[in-house]
Structure 1
Amino acid sequence: MKKVILATVLLTLLSFTGCAPAEQPAESFVFTDSCGREVQIYETDSIAPTGAMAQMVLMPLASDLFCGLASDWSSDAELYLKEELLTLPLYGQIFNGKGDMSLEEVIRLSPDVLIDIGETRPGMAEELDQLQELTGIPTVHIQATLDTMDTTYQMLGMLLGRREKADELSAYCEEIYQRTAGIIESLDTSETQTVVYCLGDKGLNVLARGSYHAELLDMLCENATVLDNPSPGGFGNEIDMEQLLLWDPHWILFAPDSVYASVASDPLWLRLSAISNGQYAEVPQGPYNWMGMPPSVNRYLGMIWLTDLLYPKEATFDLYEEVAAYYALFYDCHLTEDMFSALIE
């Protein structure tokens, strides 16, 4: 599907006139991206993330370099983000999203680099080469998974010449990841919680074990959602209530805007042990879902929150202090206790 989306926008671009790249400065350097492509970089004074995931990763490091937005902000973004970020022009996404990028608008904005961040997929190198050839804009891909985000920031620091800030972000990700991994490793098998993450307006879409979007679940618990063909998409696999009852996990997590508010009074949902025992929760959101959507650096908030939820005895940290530290580092936002309470209520 993503190849079809890319082909569509590239064909649109072919009919766009006046898009030849401007003459580049003589000084440059070669950047080797996560696909192994050697890309000539001339300037990094203006950048364009290719999707919501890249936009989120880049925001704490280089939001001042954004020429525009790949993904619009949520309705509550003004509570957490700087005003100048809220008014940038929207050009859309090409990867990890709807495939609605206006390449004409990107070319008009004239960024020095297009930056894609996320899962490294087969065939991606060829797609990026084609995109770069048609736009005349250097285009790079940097892999980002839950256990490699520290390396992601190190690579971005090299690309953008912002190593000091990148090192700070990298160290944070490494520290949170290693602390969480240590807690999980210390648990006895009997202490590990089985969990299902439910999404959608009926609560019957789930993130299957082994899928890219389920990385956080798979790390912190026994993801009960074992399916033959895990969906690669963020909305997961659709199931029925019978299957959910067969899994009957210790905990059920609900995505924002799902059925969390109604399950306690629904006789069918009350047949699940997690609901009848009160072991269910709605994932916090603001300005992004803490568990993903997109599966970006926001998942480190999910890592902190979910550890505290599932393993409170082992989670000896103060949840408010941890969340406030994240908001300060990644959103440049002073998170008050009232704001925190509103997020997790």
Structure 2
Amino acid sequence: MLRALACAPWLLPAARGAWAKAGDPGQPGLVTAFGRLPPPASIRRVFAAGAPASVLTAVLAPQALLGWPWRLSAEALGALPAPLRDLPLLGRLAGRGSTVSVETLLTLKPDLILDVGTIDATYASTAQRVAEQTGIPYALVDGRLLDSPRQLREVGGLLGVPARAETLATYAERTLALAARQRSAAAAGRRPGVYYARGPEGLETGLDGSINMETVEVAGGRNVAAEAGRGGVVRVSLEQVLGWAPEVILTQDAGFAERVMSDPLWRAVPAVRAGRVLCAPAVPFGWLDVPPSVNRLIGVRWLLAHLHGVGRAELERAGAEFYRLFYGTDFPGWAESGKRAGRTK
């Protein structure tokens, strides 16, 4: 029945929602609702349809999140506060290989199903069908990185936590404003060419328009794989990477970051020859993507420091502020976060 959810919605072209934010009359909102939304005070149980929605719910209203849609590593769980650390694995409605049935949803009795990402008519149709079959309200949220402040405010209002949402949205606005100033200061032709190496072999990446590349683009990097056209995450060849000649390689895979520096086939890539292979932290969630949610805001700060030298001296403090505000935990520091992420500085 949920076969239509076979492709992750955050890998598809965006379609703007039509639910207007309270206090902002006439402006289209980021949330499209199917079914009658309950009053915010009565939303106490939220089923996150996919990984981005679970992160957004966790940072705004951790007490409302019913469980995780994907399996978190021991390191990730260890970096989260106890209520989130102890949540069960429930499975997902969004993404390849949906693992939650209508019967399971009815048993869980959520007050709301929440999904976050880039959405189109197909996913709107699926959300409507699930809402009609279960009677559970279903909200789709446009999840673009540049809209993070509005996502936080609108979903925070929906979940009845507007004050917390405002605090997080203010951090998001400061981060995105810092990135905007850097993009304005550097002409497009002077932006460093970046290849984001995903996976253990480093041969998966995002094309132009991919939500997985937003962190790079927002931070003023130039996605070299955009030369291959528009799309989502794709498999590429080493020959393509050589042709793109990136100045910087990014990864969240510590094993790849170590192997690539001694791999003779990769030595011909300018970034490898120059030693500019940067491995981003990924605890509890990726700083570049995985998932593509508000966890990427600290990744923007990290990239601004490493690509442009902006705020490098304050990076430790920025990390501590982000972890305290968004996760309610202490920043583990580079040595601890580097257990999965390899060198980050």
Normalized against structure 2, the TM-score is what? 0.84
Structure 1 pair 273–193 and aligned structure 2 pair: CA distance change class (3 A): same
Which SS does the other structure have where 2:131 is aligned?
A: helix
1:283 to 280, 283, 308: 280
Q: Does 1:294 align with 2:291?
A: yes
Aligned identity (percent) is 25
Counterpart residue type for residue 4 of structure 1 = A
Q: Name the CA shift for 1:132/1:162 in 2 (closer, same or farther; >3 Å).
A: same
Aligned to 1:66: 65
Q: Which runs of 5+ in 2 are unaligned?
A: 8-28
Q: Tell me the SS of whatever aligns to 1:90.
A: coil
CA–CA separation in structure 2 for the residues paired with 1:265 and 1:107:
52
1:340/1:213 Cα in 2 relative to 1: closer, same or farther (>3 Å)? Answer: closer
Q: Which residue is equivalent to 1:174?
A: 173
1:19 aligns with: none
Counterpart of 2:317 (choices 306, 318, 321) is 321
Distance apart, 1:133 and its partner CA? 1.3
Question: How far does the alpha carbon of each residue in 1:299-335 deviate from its partner, in whole angstroms, 9 at most, with x for none?
Answer: 11210111111111x3355110001111111111112
Bigger radius of gyration, 1 or 2?
1
Note the alpha carbon deviations across 1:62-119, whole angstroms, 9 max, x for none: 1111222222322212331122322223221111454112433332121111111221
* Separation in structure 1 between the aligned mates of residue 188 and residue 4 of structure 2, nearest angstrom: 44
Corresponding residue for residue 135 of structure 2: 136
Partner of 2:90 in structure 1? 91
**Which of 326, 331, 334 lines up with 1:330 in the alignment?**
326
Q: How many residues align?
A: 316
Q: Which amino acid aligns with 2:226?
A: V
Contact kept, 8 Å, 1:92 with 1:101, in 2: the verdict is yes
**Structure 2: which amino acid aligns with 1:123?**
T
CA distance in 2 between partners of 1:107 and 1:84 (Å): 23
Name the stretch that deviates more: 163-172 or 212-221: 212-221
Report the alpha carbon displacement of residue 285 of structure 1 after superposing the two structures with TM.
Answer: 1.1
For residues 312 and 228 of structure 2, what CA distance do their matches in structure 1 show? 37
Amino acid in structure 2 at the alignment position of 1:269: W
Deviation, structure 1 residue 168 = 0.9
8 Å contact from structure 1 (residues 35, 141) kept in 2: yes
Does residue 273 of the first structure (1) align with residue 249 of the second (2)?
no
2:149 partner amino acid:
D
Cα 1:193/1:293, change in 2 over 3 Å: same
- Counterparts of 1:227-246 in structure 2 under 5 Å? 227-232=227-232, 236-246=233-243
Alignment of 1:145-160 (within 5 A): 145-160=144-159
Name the counterpart of 2:225.
225
Match of 2:5 in 1: 5
Asked if structure 2 preserves the Cα contact closer than 8 Å seen for 1:91 and 1:105, the reply is no
Matched ranges for 1:31-46 at <5 A? 34-35=31-32, 37=34, 39-41=36-38, 43-46=42-45
Partner of 1:253: 250
Q: Which has the higher contact order (CA 8 A, sep 6+)?
A: 2
Quick check: 1:209–1:218 contact (8 Å CA) kept in 2? no
Q: Displacement, 1:226? A: 2.4
Q: 1:304 aligns with which of 267, 292, 301?
A: 301
- Tell me the distance in 1 between the aligned counterparts of 2:158 and 2:209: 31
Distance 1:33 1:192 in 2: 30
CA distance in 1, matches of 2:298, 2:331: 14
TM-aligned CA deviation for residue 190 of structure 1: 5.8
* Alignment correspondent of 1:108: 107
Given that 2:30 and 2:150 are in contact with CA atoms closer than 8 Å, whether structure 1 keeps it comes out as no
Q: Which residue of 2 is the match for residue 12 of structure 1? A: none
Q: 1:123 Cα shift?
A: 2.7
Distance 1:41 1:298, change over 3 A: same
Whether the aligned pair in 2 keeps the contact of 1:206 and 1:237 (CA below 8 Å) is yes
**Cα distance change on mapping 1:155 and 1:105 into 2, 3 Å:** same
Shift of 1:5: 3.5
Cα distance in structure 1, aligned partners of 2:97 and 2:313: 38
Contact 1:70 1:101 in 2 (8 A): no
- Give yes or no for contact 1:46–1:67 (8 Å, CA) kept in 2: yes
Q: What corresponds to 1:29 in structure 2?
A: none
What's the counterpart of residue 123 of structure 1? 122
Structure 2 counterpart SS, 1:226: helix
Structure 1 spans left out of the alignment, 5+ residues: 8-31
- The answer as to whether partners of 1:208 and 1:230 remain within 8 angstroms in 2 is yes
Which of 262, 267, 277 aligns to 2:259? It is 262
Give me the TM-score of the superposition, normalised by structure 1: 0.84
C-alpha deviation, 1:6, in angstroms: 6.4
Q: Against the structure 1 CA distance between its residues 320 and 237, is the aligned structure 2 distance closer, same or farther, given a 3 Å change threshold?
A: same
Partner of 2:54: 55
Contact 2:111 2:136 in 1 (8 A): yes
Alpha-carbon separation, structure 2, partners of 1:237 and 1:205: 6
Distance 1:157 1:282 in 2: 32
Change (3 A) 1:68 1:104: farther
1:199 aligns with 2:198: yes
Task: Give the Cα separation in 2 of the matches to 1:316 and 1:90.
Answer: 37
| 1:1-56 deviations in Å (ceiling 9; x for gaps) | x863369xxxxxxxxxxxxxxxxxxxxxxxx8733656332531221111110000
